[in-house]
Amino acid sequence: MPIALITLILFSLCLSGQAADQTVPREFEGFAEVAEHRGVIDDPDGYVNLRKGPLLNAPVVTKVKAGEPFSFQRKENEPWCKVKLASGATGWMHGSRIKLFFTRDDLPEKGSDDEIDQQARKQGTNYYEITQAAARGDKKALKKFLSVGSDGAAAEEHVGVTAVVIHLVGDDAFASFLREQPRSFCKNISFGWDLGVVYPFDTEEYFRQHFPKSAKILF
């Protein structure tokens, strides 16, 4: 099953063909073992400047446009993220401008036998089918998906898949779904996200920034 949320990879600190004494910003050091994520910008201007350093006045490398996926790394509690574009250009972007990016390919594969699938089956739920339906915005499936109980590794996996589902559903549809649920249900699902449903970002802060309608109901 694709790893929905965290894919650990090793980043090279020097671009291919770049001379050893050429500038790789000193701030990039120490990112070799930091998890890589995929993101897109979320900014009303429709673009965000990619900068040479983690400062608002650092020189601009290029502009990143809305809908342009990129990979990024973020150290815990650091406001700035190291970004790499599909073109190979690298730089820095403030984390508040980054929204996690997922596609349906990040959902569980049919026939997988991961721990979350096993635990869901014990509860009478076909995890693949319910996840696919939830990601399409089916409210009945979404409620069942968010109600799946899990623990251990399965809980972490379910939280990761939850991030994918919510992003595919979108703020408008998710908020519409939440408005129809009891307050206790909303509290229970947000409480269950303490494992980091939008890692590497803070859950409440991220929702208020990128899912404002849902955040008003959840928090």
Residues 6+ apart with CB under 8 A from 84: 11, 70, 71, 72, 90
Q: Evaluate the CA torsion angle 133, 119, 167, 2 in order and state its sign.
A: negative
Which one-letter amino acid corresponds to residue 111?
G
pTM of the model: 0.82
CB 37 within 8 A of CB 6: yes
* DSSP category for residue 79: S
> What is the percent of the chain where pLDDT is above 70?
84
Beta bridge partners of 62: 50
Encoded tokens for 46: 């429709």
Cα–Cα distance for residue pair 144/127, rounded to 1 Å:
10
Residue 93: predicted pLDDT: 97
CB 73 within 8 A of CB 38: no
**For each of the chain's 219 residues, which pLDDT tens digit applies?**
444 433 333 333 333 333 333 344 555 555 566 789 999 999 999 999 999 999 999 999 999 999 999 999 999 889 999 999 999 999 999 999 999 999 999 999 887 778 998 998 999 999 999 999 999 999 999 999 999 988 888 888 999 999 999 999 999 999 999 999 999 999 888 776 776 899 999 999 999 999 999 999 998
**Over the stretch 18-62, which tens digit does the pLDDT of each residue have?**
333 334 455 555 556 678 999 999 999 999 999 999 999 999 999
